[in-house]
């Protein structure tokens, strides 16, 4: 029997990882693990509990204590923590920034690492910043998905606007660049492409075009036949 397929998709904020990872998982009948949602949940809980997002031991203990549950509601992945649905609450800019802040902490990364590996055990598509480099260094396929900062900012602005949070493009771009700098400049598990990752630029491609490319790559490994649609 073939071992289950693991696919790592890394890249900066709003490069399209989530959309693409979800579609690839669906096409290959694999589960999808949104590791950013975990960091966001830790960030949100830290804000709610008044724990400083720079306090490694305290935020690490918090991360280790959380009980994550992912479920699929047909259209999107739902994230619950200790029984409370946080799917919507974790998508704000404030929580995104808190997620990036707590993601710097080695204690937090250590607390989430084993859980992420456990979730990938039976085959999965994982997206994040360090999946191909740290979480699943032996993933069957590693993709590094990027896009120009301007296009990423405009995607993020539209996403926020759809949720009623209207922001000027320049402000969103500034936040994205600051987040990129923090995520790639940190000491532990920084955002970077694994040496064996396939780089895909989504600046001028639709999610479906990127998915088709990933399925083609997946079809080249382990005898998995990629769907034609
Ligand atoms: O992908 P996202 O925007 O939901 O991620 C939120 C933050 O979480 C991101 O700025 C950095 C952090 N993160 C990380 O450090 N490692 C991961 N594997 C996933 C996310």
- For 67-81, the pLDDT digits (tens) are 999 988 877 789 999
Q: pTM for the full model?
A: 0.93
Query: What residue ranges do the domains of the chain occupy?
Result: 1-30+123-218, 35-121
Q: Is the pLDDT of residue 224 over 90?
A: no
Q: Using the mean position of ligand 1's atoms as its centre, give its distance from the Cα of residue 180 in Å.
A: 10
Res. 229: pLDDT tops 80? no
Nearest-angstrom CA–CA distance, 184 and 104: 10
Average pLDDT taken over every residue of the chain: 93
The b-or-e profile of 153-173 (16+ CB within 10 A means b, else e) is: bbbbbeebeeeeeeeeeeebb
Report, at the CATH architecture level, how domain 35-121 is classified: 3-Layer(aba) Sandwich (3.40)
Mean pLDDT, rounded, for 216-229: 67
The domains spanning 1-30+123-218 and 35-121 adopt the same CATH topology: yes
Q: What is the pLDDT of residues 168-187, one digit of tens each?
A: 999 999 999 999 999 999 99
Distance in Å, CA 217 to ligand 1 centroid: 25
> What is the tens place of the pLDDT at every residue in 20-72?
999 999 999 999 999 999 999 999 999 999 999 999 999 999 999 999 999 88
For ligand 1, atom 15, the nearest C-alpha belongs to 103
Q: Which fold has domain 1-30+123-218?
A: Rossmann fold (3.40.50)
Atom 4, ligand 1: residue with shortest CA distance = 36
Q: Is the pLDDT of residue 102 over 60?
A: yes
Q: Using the mean position of ligand 1's atoms as its centre, give its distance from the Cα of residue 227 in Å.
A: 29
CA 85 – CA 33 distance, rounded (Å): 16
Confidence at residue 94, expressed as pLDDT on a 0 to 100 scale? 94
Instruction: Ligand 1: list residues with CB < 6 Å.
Output: 13, 35-36, 39-40, 96, 99-100, 103, 128-131, 179, 183
């Amino acid at each position: 029997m073939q071992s289950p397929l693991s696919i790592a998709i890394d890249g900066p904020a709003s490069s399209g990882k989530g959309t693409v990872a979800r579609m690839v998982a669906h096409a290959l009948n694999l589960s999808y693990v949104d590791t950013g949602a975990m960091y966001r949940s830790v960030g949100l809980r830290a804000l709610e509990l008044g724990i400083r997002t720079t306090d490694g031991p305290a935020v690490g203990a918090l991360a280790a204590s959380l009980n994550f549950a992912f479920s699929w509601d047909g259209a999107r992945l739902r994230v619950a923590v200790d029984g409370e649905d946080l799917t919507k609450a974790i998508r704000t800019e404030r929580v995104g920034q808190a997620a990036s802040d707590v993601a710097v902490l080695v204690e937090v990364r250590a607390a989430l690492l084993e859980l992420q590996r456990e979730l990938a055990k039976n085959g999965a598509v994982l997206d994040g910043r360090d999946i191909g480099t740290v979480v699943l260094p032996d993933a069957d396929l590693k993709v590094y998905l990027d896009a120009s900062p301007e296009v990423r900012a405009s995607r993020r602005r539209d996403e926020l606007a759809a949720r009623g949070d209207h922001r000027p493009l320049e402000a969103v771009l500034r936040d994205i660049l600051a987040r990129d700098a923090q995520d790639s400049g940190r000491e532990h598990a920084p955002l970077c492409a694994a040496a064996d990752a396939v780089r895909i630029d989504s600046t001028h491609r639709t999610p479906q075009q990127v998915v088709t490319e990933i399925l083609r790559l997946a079809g080249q490994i382990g005898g998995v036949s990629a769907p034609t649609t």
